[in-house]
Structure 1
Amino acid sequence: MDIKNINVFEVVAREKSITKASKFLYMTPQGVSKIIRNLEKEYDCELFQRKGNKFELTESGECFFKHMKKIEAVYYNMEIELMSIHQKNQRIVDLLSAYGILRLVTPECLIVFKEKHPEIEFYYREYPDYQVERLFDNQEGNIVFTISNFDSDKYDVTVLESFKIKLLVHKDHPLAKKSHVSIKDLKGEPLYIENRDFRIHHIIVDACKDEGFSPNIIFETSGFSLCHKMVKRKKGISVTVDFVFDDMKESNLVMVPFEAKENGEYPLMWSICMLIRKHQIQGKAVEIFYQHVKEWMQAIHDGRIKR
């Protein structure tokens, strides 16, 4: 049995239609039908029966579907284990990073690592925060840069640096004159913010809801740059962090910190972390890269490397 045929069966069972399944799979209906017929022939049973315009699972089909999920899980777990062994033995670093973090770590960190370790295969991919986490949770990549918080039972987490989230306004905006703002100051203000795939979106939305209102989100972006651009044009307000603000170098924009909580803690933090899987043997290449990044960030903090 071909594992790809199981996938075809699963899609037909879900869509209850050969035509819909073929569109989803980018196959012809004839090709999908042939695979289903071959499975039925191989197991000497009828997997589907037509009821009106729908293909419904038979009793045999239900049985096949139940065991198919177990077969798929075993197959994909095997693939993941084999890939992990390959990466460990072949000295591979497969880095998944959330957008924007390279501004902090600096591209030179990766460039220097590759120059110092030409024997290590290095792969680098960028995605929004939550997409990185989903991919890593599905066993893609072997090391991650992203934004906290995480399950410490699953991952070894190293905080690279933490930043206060601050309000971003044009210098002519009334809030620019304040030394501090409250979450309530956001109420009704046209807000430009990163979309739901970014952790900062949820930090701000949740903080507003805790104060009894929903923020007036005008537009959701895929990065800080557009937010800064729209604030510069006096279209609204946004939020940012120090190192992004410094990198943008916009003279007409102002950052205003949020008021501290009653216990003195700053209310909105944005922490950049490096993750590896806790219950998985790491290859030597990952260990070398992990240590390189920690030393690089320490050199930045000490002033030996400029961001």
Structure 2
Amino acid sequence: MNIKDFNVFITVAETRHLTKASKLLYMTPQGISKVIKNLENECDCELFLRTGNGMELSEAGRHFLKYANKAMEEYFDMRNELLRIKQKEHGVVDLLSAFGIVRLVTPECILDFKKKYPEIEFHSRECPDKQVERWFLAGEGNVAFSLAPCDEEKYDVSELSAFPVKLLVNENHPLSRKETVTIQDLRGEPLYIESREFKIHDLIVNKCREAGFEPNIMFETSGFSLCHKMVRENKGISVTVDFVSDDMGHDNMVLIPFADGDYEWKICMLTRKNETVGNGVDIFQKHVKEWMDRIREGDINR
């Protein structure tokens, strides 16, 4: 038996059906059945009970599942550890970035890094803030862009920049006439906001709850473009930061600052605590910090 066999077994155990498992594994039901039969022959016991409704684990199968899950977990731990060793030894940057941060840092920063250091292997992936930190904590990537707050017991954190979170409303909305707003102005308003996988969602929802009400969330989205569209059509309100709104355009919309506390979108660069970063990551961190300094000083236009 090998790690692929364990993966087939676990998938069948979870789906309880050969056809469903075949769609997930991109294998034929006959191929999956052969793997299961070989495992049963090797273990000299029946791992599944074939029923009219599908595949049910036998008592032996339930015990086998525990060992299969453990083997898969240890295999991926080993792969991640070997990958980290490779990254330190050979100069690899494997960046995990929350959506929107590369737009802020600017793609030119990444392109300039790759041009200056062609010997450093560079990879990057983008996903929501909380997914970045889950993956990073699980050992994926060797440097990350995320949003505060970040757990400083788990990560070494470098703050790169911060922007105020503002209310976005259509120019025909009554709130557009205000110079500043408070969280109470959101009470009862149809709100379009990024999903719970984004920290800006937690910021606004928690502020509303502290003020004694639940926000009237109409839709949670994985991208800001829908929020922007609904505000443009005056079907609701949203929250965002200046540079995102500027990039998307806001001819008939107004950004209004909050006046009742800290509403901040703060970007951070993370490495794992007590983990020696390779030379590639060290060079990348210095490059990003210097680039951000040049943006602040006006040498580079965002």
The alignment's TM-score, normalised by the length of structure 1, stands at 0.90
**Structure 1 residues 178-232: Cα deviation after superposition (integer angstroms, max 9, x where no partner):** 2321212112212222233322122222222333333222333333344334323
Q: Measure how far apart 1:142 and its partner are.
A: 1.5
In structure 2, distance between residues paired with 1:25 and 1:113: 38
Paired letter, 2:263: L
Residues 82-121 of structure 1 aligned to structure 2 (within 5 Å): 82-121=82-121
Structure 2 equivalent of residue 267 of structure 1: 262
Paired letter, 1:252: N
Structure 2 equivalent of residue 209 of structure 1: 209
In structure 1, distance between residues paired with 2:77 and 2:43: 25
**Structure 1 residues 106-156: Cα deviation after superposition (integer angstroms, max 9, x where no partner):** 122111111111111112222222332233233222111121222222211
The range that moved more, 209-218 or 50-59, is 50-59
The range that moved more, 278-287 or 63-72, is 63-72
Segments ≥4 residues shifted beyond 4 Å: none
In structure 2, distance between residues paired with 1:83 and 1:57: 35
Paired letter, 1:214: E
Residue 276 (1) aligns with residue 248 (2): no
Q: Which runs of 5+ in 1 are unaligned?
A: 261-265
Distance 1:136 1:34, change over 3 A: same
**Structure 1 residues 232-251: Cα deviation after superposition (integer angstroms, max 9, x where no partner):** 33222111112223444534
**Structure 1 residues 28-47: Cα deviation after superposition (integer angstroms, max 9, x where no partner):** 22211111110111122222
SS of residue paired to 2:274: coil
**Structure 1 residues 69-100: Cα deviation after superposition (integer angstroms, max 9, x where no partner):** 22222211111111112222221111121221
In structure 2, distance between residues paired with 1:170 and 1:138: 41
Residues 68-217 of structure 1 aligned to structure 2 (within 5 Å): 68-217=68-217
In structure 2, distance between residues paired with 1:8 and 1:186: 50
Paired letter, 1:173: H
Residue 296 (1) aligns with residue 291 (2): yes
The alignment's TM-score, normalised by the length of structure 2, stands at 0.91
| 1:183–1:208 contact (8 Å) kept in structure 2 | yes
Paired letter, 2:24: F
SS of residue paired to 2:5: helix
Paired letter, 1:278: K
RMSD: 2.1
**Structure 1 residues 247-305: Cα deviation after superposition (integer angstroms, max 9, x where no partner):** 44534322212222xxxxx2322211111112322110011001111111122222332
In structure 1, distance between residues paired with 2:249 and 2:156: 35
Q: Measure how far apart 1:51 and its partner are.
A: 5.1
Distance 1:119 1:23, change over 3 A: closer
Q: Measure how far apart 1:14 and its partner are.
A: 2.2
Paired letter, 1:284: N
Structure 2 equivalent of residue 12 of structure 1: 12
In structure 2, distance between residues paired with 1:45 and 1:8: 17
| 1:100–1:223 contact (8 Å) kept in structure 2 | no
In structure 2, distance between residues paired with 1:18 and 1:299: 57
Q: Measure how far apart 1:52 and its partner are.
A: 5.3
The range that moved more, 86-95 or 242-251, is 242-251
Paired letter, 1:125: R
Distance 1:53 1:251, change over 3 A: closer
Paired letter, 1:297: M
SS of residue paired to 2:230: helix
In structure 2, distance between residues paired with 1:155 and 1:59: 43
Structure 2 equivalent of residue 263 of structure 1: none
Distance 1:67 1:257, change over 3 A: same
Q: Which runs of 5+ in 2 are unaligned?
A: none
In structure 2, distance between residues paired with 1:48 and 1:81: 34
Paired letter, 1:268: Y
